[in-house]
Amino acid sequence: MYLIVLFFLLKQYKRSALFLIPMLILTIILNDQISGFIKDTIERFRPYRDPNISHLINIVRKPSGTYGFVSAHAANAFGFMTFTSMVFRNRIYTIFFLFWAILVGYTRIYLGVHFPGDVIAGGIMGTLIGWGMYRLTTWLENHFMANAKKTFSEKLPSRDTIIIILVTVVTILTIVSSVTKLVKYNFL
């Protein structure tokens, strides 16, 4: 799924994508590193490690981390969604990837590895970092690429949006089907 978005960044923005892609990667890295720092600072147990409720939690597989506030998955999903939605400026793309980011957050709660507050805080943090990185990208473009054609003047065509959505849906369905089979036969 990420690769198809990167492909359309390259297709839509050509040479400017060589600037956009590192900024998108930096958005993910920032979300991941800041969420890790917050987890180590706040030290709030994940639900399955909380002694008060751990007996109520049935998890599929224990993640390696002890602490869960804030959710890095939610932060990365919302950061990715915000940054790419602001670049592509396509309403259908934005709505679909907002739904996708919410779904990522929900799975973290469903799997028992995060409290709802962990996911909400991760979503807020990711959205703010995605927005901030987009603003930084446009500022850098305006100050250091003044002679170049403005990168974000064109919206992503609807045809390309539909292709991205179809590839994402097929990817999600494939993952769900594979995980279902793995759980059914006790491989997970």
Pair of tokens at residue 108: 């973290």
**pLDDT tens across 79-105, in order?**
999 999 999 888 999 999 999 999 999
How far apart are the C-alpha atoms of 77 and 56, rounded to whole Å? 27
The per-residue pLDDT for 73 is 93
Work out the average pLDDT over 148-165.
72
- Decide: helix, strand or coil at residue 97: helix
**Predicted model pTM:** 0.84
Tell me 64's DSSP state.
Answer: S
- All structural domains of the chain with their residue ranges: 2-184
Is there a contact between 4 and 152 (Cβ–Cβ < 8 Å)? no
Query: Which of 55-64, 67-76, 162-171 is predicted with the least confidence, judged by mean pLDDT?
Result: 55-64
**pLDDT tens across 37-56, in order?**
999 999 888 888 888 887 78
How far apart are the C-alpha atoms of 16 and 142, rounded to whole Å? 13
> Given pLDDT bands bounded at 50, 70 and 90, which one contains residue 149?
low
The per-residue pLDDT for 174 is 87
Residue 103, H or E segment: helix 91-110
Q: Give, in degrees to the nearest 5, the angle at Cα 45 between 41 and 46.
A: 120
The per-residue pLDDT for 124 is 96
* Closest listed residue to residue 69, CA positions, set 48, 40, 49: 40
Q: Residue 68 pLDDT more than 80? A: yes
